[in-house]
Amino acid sequence: MVKISTSILSIKDNIIEKIKILNTTNTDYIHYDIMDGSFVSNTSFSFEEIKELNKYVTKPLDIHLMVQDPKSYIHFYKSMNPEYITIHYEIDNLEANIKLIKNNNIKVGVSIKPNTDIEKIYKLLDKIDLVLIMSVEPGFGGQTFIENSLDKIKKLKEYINNHNLNTVIEVDGGINDITAKSCIRMGVDILVSGSYITNSDNYQDKIELLKKV
């Protein structure tokens, strides 16, 4: 069954209370969207904010680093024992940062932006655990799903199957019950969803809906 990673980026107020609610749901992961104001124009949580929030999180962590130079972030986040740390294909020093995450015994994800071809990631697949396909331009929650992401999921899934790989496919941006259905049909393993879940008044219902579409 598809797994759900809930992004807390779009939670506006009472974030600690809302994290406590998420702990009681069937979300498989909590997704931290971390931005540096350089790789993407926006910024999000500071180290201090995450340190405080993370005291309350009981779910496994799925960390999405939208930053140009991940090294210091990897050193900070490794202490939280995350399940995944995902960095972007489009940064400098990609391979060195993949090694750094691996050397800390954390599963490595590599994300591609909407305009990056899926074929570019193939040569990395034996070195990484997860590919995160961005289905919106990274930087903001609440955007509309970009349809050509479906084609990327499909191609990647075929490549993974044909080469007997175990790489996990995750999709992020504009996921709701309708777009989730299409992504699942193409073979996605993990759906990241933010506003669809956290703008609702019943997180568990939305998570179950995504799992069952």
CA triple 114-59-80, angle to 5 deg: 85
Q: Rule CB under 6 A: is residue 172 a binding residue for ligand DX5?
A: yes
Q: Rule CB under 5 A: is residue 64 a binding residue for Zn ion?
A: yes
Q: Rule CB under 5 A: is residue 62 a binding residue for Zn ion?
A: no
C-beta of 187: minimal distance to ligand DX5 in Å?
20
* Contacting residues for 77 by C-beta, under 8 A, at least 6 apart: 61, 63, 65, 85
Told to judge if 172 belongs to the known catalytic residues of this protein, a careful annotator would answer yes
Q: Which is nearer to ligand DX5, 82 or 139 (CB)?
A: 139
Among 136, 150, 160, 207, binds ligand DX5 (CB under 6 A): 136
Q: Which residue's entry shows tokens 């990241």?
A: 192
Give the C-alpha separation, 76 to 201, whole Å.
33
Q: Rule CB under 6 A: is residue 139 a binding residue for ligand DX5?
A: yes
Among 14, 21, 49, 142, binds ligand DX5 (CB under 6 A): 142
* Contacting residues for 14 by C-beta, under 8 A, at least 6 apart: none
Told to judge if 33 belongs to the known catalytic residues of this protein, a careful annotator would answer yes
Name the β-bridge partners of 29.
5
Kindly list the residues in this chain that would bind ligand DX5 in the complex (CB under 6 A): 7, 9-10, 31, 33, 64, 136, 138-143, 172-175, 192-196
